[in-house]
Homo-oligomer: A and B are copies of this chain.
Amino acid sequence: MAHTVLQKGKIIARVRRIKGQMEGIERALETGAACGEVLRQLASARGAMNGLTAELMEDHLQEHVVHAKSEQERQSGGQEMVDVIRTYLK
């Protein structure tokens, strides 16, 4: 991914935050937290993952389709986009 250093840093920070949420869920399960509490934490992690996915799909669309450096990159970038959409809306 050809992100600027700043953008890349922000995206990696979001990935780490989700990893941290999974660690929180692990601890909650180990310490016998209430079921409802674990489900709430899981819903929150899923929301963060959806947000990150939307961000990366948008970045991909802008860089590799809209502003692709060649027709070939645009074609393959568009096809990758189609594959991802199918995964989410199957």
Contact = CB atoms under 8 A, between A and B. Distances in A.
Interface of A: 1, 8, 11-12, 15-16, 18-19, 22-23, 25-26, 29-30, 32-36, 38-40, 42-43, 45-46, 49-54, 56-66, 74-75, 77-78, 80-90
**Total copies of this chain within the assembly:** 4
Given A45-B49, A60-B35, A86 B26 contact: no
Contacts of A49: 42, 45-46, 49
Interface of A is mostly: helix
A65 B16 CA distance: 32
Given A1-B34, A35-B63, A52 B56 contact: no
Given A43-B84, A87-B43, A29 B15 contact: yes
